[in-house]
């Protein structure tokens, strides 16, 4: 029997897990900080892979979920934010050379979409849009049972869509992107600006201010905090309506930490989406739901990638 | 040898043409107004098909390009704007019953994209975005050599993307769509508003005002007319940048009557697109061009559909 190894490389943590055939329950899982004190992140990743390698079994393939723009066809990382030295890194080639098994590399948000489609809330759907709403906003799209990649694998950057021309600056340096309006960072920045403008709020002494603290304040009736989620959810819903017109999916999946604020974000999102949708046909048989796979979605996506894209 | 018949149903004109095998040069082409004086549009379309039917040859398939939301899987027209009685019309079924050959029905903008990809400027590309900028704005997308349709065939409604929240009203009743900003109608409406606001222009006595007249005035140095195209082109370019981030194509094709205003529209479009693009990678090997197939793009798209989607 052949096992599969999945790796999820994040800005703060790398995880590796070993899966038996036809299972998404790992037999072994290990973690380490991405910035190890004594070795570069790539060696740290290699050590983790070794640590979960099965003793008496073959490994069929390795799948790696990595952040930032990367080319899934070549397995070259263009530039991984927050990972020192990962610029134009041929991650697939280096990993294949080291372990002598086929390796596939994919963008973490794309792979989260793949995971939810194959093993999560998206099972049975053929057209899926996935958004992870967290510090930033990432996306992944399944069309006719296939991941949308584009010519260099740079497609589905759904957080970097201009939603409000001239709006707040995104981390990428462009104004008015969905990420700048509806991500955790976007919510925090808006609340900070309102506080600086003199708005009264229970959040005035919170340092550092986080989206989770703003969600807690909203639940306690803080008006500014509620408005912050209404604003973020409304722009998110408006943008999802655009995605309905573009992709005509049967399911939209919202993952990521900020989605755990639940209806604070999702109620205004749904309202704005319905108002902005071109015709009721787009909403027929449409499921809007939060993600099912939680924290291990990156690993499970890397596993699905290794299964679908061996060699 | 088996021939193919293609039909292009527009709001003002229906065209039918008969093509020999492996050719996009019709052996016969006929036209008639969509609103015939003495019969409904469907009978008019049937008569046109009969009029181009080859005498001594078999017909292998019929492809039909039709406007408005329609389901290409079932061939049912949801509602064709400007065509009396075409509401929930099972066009594919009726046409198959009448002519006893396989019939395929597709959205005209989608089929224009298919035509440019198969026979026009998009040949050899695998990832194409097509926009027709005319009275309205329609779209079509090729991903991995396949037309993007979505679950009910309602995908790629690229004119109905919110580009400016709270912006001018679109014909569909939603504010700030690309179509309301950058179509011929959008250009005319903006110029009218500016004239009502007292702006001085050579266009003040033009009735009816058209995008072609505004283009002519812009070429003669009319400042308002130039600003109208700069504005429309800039919003178009901003939206195309979004489509690069969403689809990561190798070619963007601009068709439709307003694209014939050339650099008046295309220069500001290119500038805005470049400014708004996330990273230079999206622009590497990217072609931005006007359409090649001109007025017969609908017929050629219907022909391509009949070839690719028989039965």
- Determine the pLDDT at residue A132: 97
- Determine the pLDDT at residue B311: 38
- Determine the pLDDT at residue B46: 97
CB A155 to CB B78 under 8 A?
no
For chain B, list residues whose CB is within 8 angstroms of any CB belonging to chain A: 69, 78, 126-127, 143-144, 146, 148-158, 160-165, 172, 174, 238-239, 241-242, 245-250, 276, 278-279, 281-282, 284-285
Over residues B167-176, the pLDDT tens digits come to 999 999 999 9
Over residues B228-273, the pLDDT tens digits come to 999 999 999 999 999 999 999 999 999 999 999 999 999 999 999 9
Residues B108 and B132 placed together within one structural domain of the fold: no
Please report whether residue A115 resides in a domain.
no
What 3-state class would DSSP assign to A214?
helix
Q: How far apart are CA B60 and CA A247, in angstroms?
A: 31
Please report whether residue B141 resides in a domain.
yes
Q: Which residues of B touch A238 (CB under 8 A)?
A: 162, 165
Mean pLDDT of chain B: 95
Residues B86 and B140 placed together within one structural domain of the fold: no
Residue B161 has pLDDT above 50, yes or no: yes
Q: Which residues of A touch B242 (CB under 8 A)?
A: 161-162
What is chain A's alpha carbon radius of gyration, rounded to the nearest angstrom?
Answer: 20
Across the interface, which of B146, B174, B245 has its CB nearest the CB of A160? Answer: B245
Picking from A4, A280, A211, A250, the residue whose alpha carbon sits closest to that of residue A127 is: A250
Whether A83 and A54 have beta carbons less than 8 Å apart is answered as no
Residues B171 and B247 placed together within one structural domain of the fold: yes
Residue B59 belongs to what H/E stretch? strand B58-66
Cα separations in angstroms, A307 against A97, A267, A310? 19, 36, 6
Please report whether residue A112 resides in a domain.
no
Q: How far apart are CA B132 and CA B142, in angstroms?
A: 14
Segment B26-52 mean pLDDT: 94
Q: Which residues of A touch B77 (CB under 8 A)?
A: none
Domain count of the fold of chain B: 2
Q: How far apart are CA A116 and CA A125, in angstroms?
A: 10
Residues A13 and A49 placed together within one structural domain of the fold: yes
Best B128, B146, B171, B248 residue to mutate vs chain A (most A CBs within 10 Å): B248
Q: Which two tokens stand for residue A291?
A: 């993600």
Please report whether residue A114 resides in a domain.
no
Low-confidence ranges of chain A (pLDDT < 70): 1, 309-311
pTM of the model: 0.96
- Determine the pLDDT at residue A80: 83
Residue B141 forms beta bridges with which residues?
B129
- Determine the pLDDT at residue B310: 45
- Determine the pLDDT at residue B82: 80
- Determine the pLDDT at residue B79: 85
Burial A65-103 (b: 16+ CB within 10 A, else e): bbbbbbbbeebbbbebeebeebeebebbeebbebbebbb
- Determine the pLDDT at residue A279: 93
Q: Which residues of A touch B149 (CB under 8 A)?
A: 248
Residue A121 or B79, more confident? A121
Say how many C-beta atoms besides its own lie within 10 A of residue A55's C-beta. Answer: 4
Please report whether residue B117 resides in a domain.
no
Q: How far apart are CA A178 and CA A160, in angstroms?
A: 6
Q: Which two tokens stand for residue A187?
A: 């919510």
Residues B176 and B265 placed together within one structural domain of the fold: yes
Q: Torsions phi, psi of A36, nearest 5?
A: -65, 150
Q: How far apart are CA A233 and CA A217, in angstroms?
A: 16
Residues A91 and A226 placed together within one structural domain of the fold: no
Residues A58 and A188 placed together within one structural domain of the fold: no
Q: Torsions phi, psi of A297, nearest 5?
A: -60, -35
Say how many C-beta atoms besides its own lie within 10 A of residue B283's C-beta. Answer: 14
What is the predicted ipTM?
Answer: 0.96
B309 band by pLDDT with thresholds 50, 70 and 90: low
Residues A43 and A128 placed together within one structural domain of the fold: no
Task: List the domain range (segments joined by +) for residue A40.
Answer: 2-107+296-308
What 3-state class would DSSP assign to B82?
coil
C-alpha atoms less than 13 angstroms from C-alpha of B24 in its C-beta half-sphere:
17
Q: How far apart are CA B298 and CA B216, in angstroms?
A: 27
CB A153 to CB B247 under 8 A?
no
Q: Which residues of A touch B246 (CB under 8 A)?
A: 155-158, 161, 246
- CATH number of the domain residue A19 falls in: 3.30.420.40
Task: Search chain B and give the residue with CA nearest A239.
Answer: B162
Whether B287 and B252 have beta carbons less than 8 Å apart is answered as yes
Cα separations in angstroms, A58 against A8, A117, A209, B37? 21, 27, 48, 76
Segment B175-191 mean pLDDT: 98
Residues A265 and A138 placed together within one structural domain of the fold: yes
Q: How far apart are CA A9 and CA B109, in angstroms?
A: 41
Whether A133 and A255 have beta carbons less than 8 Å apart is answered as yes
Over residues B109-128, the pLDDT tens digits come to 999 999 999 999 999 999 99
Cβ contacts of residue B56 below 8 Å, gap of 6+?
none
The C-alpha angle with vertex A235 and arms to A230 and A236, in degrees rounded to 5, equals: 95
Residues A65 and A137 placed together within one structural domain of the fold: no
Best B77, B144, B150 residue to mutate vs chain A (most A CBs within 10 Å): B150
What 3-state class would DSSP assign to A231?
helix
Residues B6 and B143 placed together within one structural domain of the fold: no
Report the side by side order of strands in the sheet with A13-19. A28-33, A13-19, A2-9, A58-66, A103-107
Picking from A228, A233, A198, the residue whose alpha carbon sits closest to that of residue A215 is: A228
Cα separations in angstroms, A110 against A64, A71, A95, A105, B297? 12, 12, 20, 11, 35
Residues B133 and B180 placed together within one structural domain of the fold: yes
């Amino acid at each position: 029997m052949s096992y599969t190894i999945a790796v999820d490389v994040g800005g703060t943590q790398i995880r590796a897990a070993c899966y038996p055939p036809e299972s998404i329950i790992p037999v072994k899982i290990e973690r380490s900080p991405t910035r190890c004190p004594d070795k570069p992140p790539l060696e740290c990743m290699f050590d983790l892979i070794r640590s979960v390698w099965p003793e008496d079994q073959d490994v069929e393939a390795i799948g790696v979920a990595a952040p930032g723009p990367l080319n899934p066809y070549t397995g070259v990382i263009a530039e991984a934010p927050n990972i020192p030295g990962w610029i134009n890194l041929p991650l697939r080639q280096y990993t294949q050379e080291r372990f002598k098994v086929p390796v596939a590399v994919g963008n973490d948000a794309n792979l989260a979409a793949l995971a939810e489609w194959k093993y999560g809330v998206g099972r049975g759907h053929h057209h899926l849009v996935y958004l992870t709403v967290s510090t930033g906003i990432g996306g992944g799209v399944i069309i006719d049972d296939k991941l949308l990649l584009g010519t260099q694998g740079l497609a589905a950057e759904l957080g970097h869509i201009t939603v409000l021309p001239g709006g707040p600056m995104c981390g990428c340096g462009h104004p008015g992107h969905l990420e700048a309006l509806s991500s955790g960072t976007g919510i925090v920045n808006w609340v900070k600006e309102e506080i600086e403008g003199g708005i009264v709020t229970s959040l005035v002494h919170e340092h550092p201010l986080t989206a989770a603290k703003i969600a807690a304040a909203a639940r306690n009736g803080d008006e500014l905090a509620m408005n912050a989620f209404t604003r973020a959810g409304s722009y998110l819903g408006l943008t999802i309506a655009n995605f309905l017109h573009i992709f005509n999916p049967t399911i939209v999946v919202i993952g990521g930490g900020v989605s755990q604020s639940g209806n604070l974000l999702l109620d205004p999102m749904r309202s704005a989406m319905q108002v902005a949708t071109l015709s009721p046909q787009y909403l027929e048989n449409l499921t809007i739901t939060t993600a099912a796979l939680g924290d291990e979605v990156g690993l499970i996506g890397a596993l699905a990638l290794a299964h679908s894209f061996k060699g």
